[in-house]
Structure 1
Amino acid sequence: MAASDASLAIARRSSWRDEECLELVCGISNAGGGRLILDADVDSRGAVKRRTNRTMKAIPGIIAQSLSLTCAVELVLDSGRFCLEVVIPPSPEPISYHGSFFFFRDGENHELDDEALDRLLQRDMEVDTKWELRPVVQASIDDLNMGLVTRFTGASRDTDLTQDLDELSAIELTLRHAGLMTGVGTPTNAGILLLHDHPHQYIPGATVRIGFFGSHGGTPIFEDEVFGSLIEQVHTTVELLFDKYLPEEDAKTTSYRLGTAGGHGRPPRDAVHEAVLNALAHKNYDSGTPIQVSVFTDRLCIDNVGRPPRTWTVAALLGRHTSRPNNPTLVAALRSLGIIDGWGNGISSIRLQCMEAGTPEPLFELRDDETMICFPMDSDSLLAASVARPDLPSNAPQVRTELPEVQLTARARAQAHDTSLTLNDEKVLAMIDIDGRLTAPRIAKNLNISESTVRRSFRRLRELGLIDRIGSDKSGFWQVK
């Protein structure tokens, strides 16, 4: 069960005694985790004496054998004295020692009678510690990438944390407030994922797998697995995709190499970067399944276990919506780093980047427990011809195999008013359907038309009741009805 930093239990004993201390560990774990502080024998140079060293090495094994808990033991300074600190994780469900259940409260360890045990079991059923806030007791702040830690906390990179204890304390406090570390000095899952160089060592499946499948599914022709912190996984995945799996056309031979779908429709790098970041930030890490990126000759698909609220449809995902992350602590940390904005704009950003680059809009699919985004790499898909190629001669055929629902509705509304929409009207409508905050100058630049043409489209679409202006001309936005 969860416990706040302020309520994490701390017990102190002069030495380790198996029976008493195992009961204490059992009670602290049932109370939400905490620390057991033991006196340590050190010499004048701070070196641990033999007896204390033997105890320090033995305690984790004794606890694991008796209580099936993984506890870390470290030598720490506590109120100016060297002590052994036993870091005790919260138990996912109440545990017992020799058939008795204990609960540490108000500085004392209590053996629970039947009634108290029933209350503990009931509370355990009601409280669920989110995955990202669970402690990783095998790790400490020393195991984290200090470059990432100082980047997140704003600490000086030149600080020697082994000497400047005040700076170390300030860093740990910042990480605790962000949910990246517990009150007993162990990183949380979110902290490991964001700040550790090898999170897959603690979190099964915390990687990205990339495979090239050619024109068929089945076994990949070749594949890679990407490791590292979450930020490193994003950058490495995108680099691999564009350097190895989606190389640019060969200008000398005008031939197209692997994964470029005949050279047309290669998705924009920024859109793919945003899609990979979204997948890693919103993944259900309890699944133990890596992010899967599948490259075919005509599409690039990113699939992760994890989806928005079950009441959401694809239409809700594509429309304006609030940010509802699966991992709010992780997303908040990424937002503080400036990596994401945290306002639910990721999907609209991907769609807009594809439209501005003149590539087909990606397809989205929501399954029972998965989210997939697929970038078509086929020049005959969706609106690639009409939106992406304003330089085509007027007599060139406009390839349009499938229209978005908003444009089908617009055409039907125009026909009901005995009029029709121009191609520019449809393009403008498609762009503000993705992002209603787009201005006339930006739309004009991306569609290679004049601002006056865009404003005429605004007026026509508004007269037909297809769009409405919310707020002022300066700070408002367009809403597609």
Structure 2
Amino acid sequence: MTAESQNIEFKLTWRDEYLKWICGFANAYGGTIFIGKDDNGNVVDLKDAKKLLEEIPNKVRDTLGILVDVNFHQTEKGNYIEILVEQYPYPVNYKGQYHYRSGSTKQELKGAALDKFLLQKKGKRWDGVPVPRVSINDLKQETFELFRKRAFRSQRIDEYGLDDNNEHLIENLQLKEDKYLKRASILLFHPDPEKFITGAYVKIGYFESDSDLRFQDEIHGNLFEQIEKTTELLFTKYIKALISYEGINRVETYEYPIEAIREALLNAIAHKDYSGGVPIQISVYKDKIMIWNEGQLPENWTIETLLDKHSSKPFNPDIANTLFRSGHIESWGRGISKMTEQCFKYGLPAPLFFFKSSGFWVEFRKDIYH
């Protein structure tokens, strides 16, 4: 018995609306549709199988503009046909609608999901899309100076390149396409990215319980500013420090390792899906901290993939490259292991990582019993 899956669909009879399913397979990873089988994959006999053998390829070609193989099968239980659909490198539409196979279901892509799909089919990522009517002069000089200082210390960019003017620096960072700045350059260097990108900020809240919010803050500005301001605010207002003395020297020991929290924040900023229009959200409780960003795991990845040694596959490659050059992040996919190591050094349990609906969570716990 075979179940429906990412690449397999069963239908009892043929209906022309199933062209949408073919469209979905072509836009995803390809697959096979069996006509004349029930949901469990049992043959139920397709009376007009031979007729459909000729009709379906023509309907697919005329409606979708693609070619499929249709095969006839004869068994003791009856006849059925299989439609073999290849993955297509360009977007396929059904009467102006774009359908996509996800798991064992078909969905029509709309809004931000459709924009993302079309960009990927063109070999582009969201942060690499050019933005008209913005110039180098609109970007923040102080942020360029901050980047140069950090990049000089990290030694991840040619020293002579740091002496170039801002325009050449943007070009060297691949943050420009022809005469237009990319979205990544707006997020990284513009004084107010939210003029162009809704929800491009960080929100922090302190909760006594899930329903009891005591106070909150919002951190705006470009991504470099958000990184510094958010880290500072968390460790001056939200996270307590134990005070001790070594001789006459005052020593502050925070409840959570700064390096681990900062790494989680950097991951959220680098991998966030900025097309969703929702800010990064940091929820602080008396016994835990939870950091959330909208986004998706890479195709065919699971949480287990992240916990194992893995390659780096940033959701926003242009943003991630610039953060790497400035020394903020690495390019080896070691962020999760670094967070875990820092927590163990602090005597804390390993952070939890989980993915729900449209977002990714990191949870730091104060002790192993909570």
**Shorter-normalised TM range:** 0.5 to 0.7
Q: Which residue does 2:130 correspond to in 1? A: 135
Residue identity in the other structure for 2:283:
S
Q: Structure 1 residue aligned with 2:240, among 247, 257, 274?
A: 247
Q: Structure 1 residue aligned with 2:173, among 158, 175, 178?
A: 178
Shift of 1:329: 1.1
Query: Which structure has the highest strand share of the two?
Result: 2
Q: Which residue does 1:196 correspond to in 2? A: 190
Residue identity in the other structure for 2:288:
R
Deviates more, 1:226-235 or 1:316-325: 226-235
What TM-score results when the alignment is normalised by the length of structure 1? 0.45
* Partner Cα separation in structure 2 for residue 364 and residue 265 of structure 1: 22
Per-residue Cα deviation, 1:199-229 (whole angstroms, up to 9, x for no partner): 1222111100001111x11252110000122
**CA RMSD, Structure 1 to Structure 2 (Å):** 3.0
Query: Could you say what secondary structure the match of 2:328 adopts?
Result: coil
Q: Which residue does 2:231 correspond to in 1? A: 238
Q: Rg: which structure is higher?
A: 1
Q: Which residue does 1:224 correspond to in 2? A: 217
**2:257 is equivalent to residue 268 of structure 1:** yes
Q: Structure 1 residue aligned with 2:318, among 297, 309, 329?
A: 329
Per-residue Cα deviation, 1:293-317 (whole angstroms, up to 9, x for no partner): 0011111000000132142222211
Q: Which residue does 1:302 correspond to in 2? A: 291
Provide the identity percentage: 36
User: Does the CA contact (< 8 Å) of 1:172 and 1:181 recur in 2?
Assistant: no
User: Does the CA contact (< 8 Å) of 1:266 and 1:359 recur in 2?
Assistant: no
Query: Could you say what secondary structure the match of 2:130 adopts?
Result: coil
Residue identity in the other structure for 1:149:
F
User: How many pairs align?
Assistant: 236
Query: Could you say what secondary structure the match of 2:177 adopts?
Result: coil
**2:203 is equivalent to residue 209 of structure 1:** yes
User: Does the CA contact (< 8 Å) of 1:265 and 1:377 recur in 2?
Assistant: no
* Partner Cα separation in structure 2 for residue 175 and residue 276 of structure 1: 24
Per-residue Cα deviation, 1:11-53 (whole angstroms, up to 9, x for no partner): xxxxxxxxxxxxxxxxxxxxxxxxxxxxxxxxxxxxxxxxxxx
Kindly tell me: are residues 359 and 153 of structure 1, through their superposed partners in 2, closer, same or farther at Cα, counting changes over 3 Å? closer
User: Does the CA contact (< 8 Å) of 2:281 and 2:291 recur in 1?
Assistant: yes
Shift of 1:357: 1.6
Unaligned runs of 5+ in 2: 1-117, 150-161, 246-252
Residue identity in the other structure for 1:213:
F
Shift of 1:238: 1.4
**2:357 is equivalent to residue 368 of structure 1:** yes
Q: Which residue does 1:349 correspond to in 2? A: 338
User: Does the CA contact (< 8 Å) of 1:360 and 1:379 recur in 2?
Assistant: yes
Kindly tell me: are residues 379 and 248 of structure 1, through their superposed partners in 2, closer, same or farther at Cα, counting changes over 3 Å? farther
User: Does the CA contact (< 8 Å) of 1:265 and 1:376 recur in 2?
Assistant: no
Kindly tell me: are residues 357 and 131 of structure 1, through their superposed partners in 2, closer, same or farther at Cα, counting changes over 3 Å? same
Shift of 1:133: 1.5
Unaligned runs of 5+ in 1: 1-122, 155-166, 253-263, 382-481
What TM-score results when the alignment is normalised by the length of structure 2? 0.58
Q: Which residue does 1:315 correspond to in 2? A: 304
* Partner Cα separation in structure 2 for residue 379 and residue 368 of structure 1: 27
Kindly tell me: are residues 349 and 193 of structure 1, through their superposed partners in 2, closer, same or farther at Cα, counting changes over 3 Å? same
Residue identity in the other structure for 1:182:
E
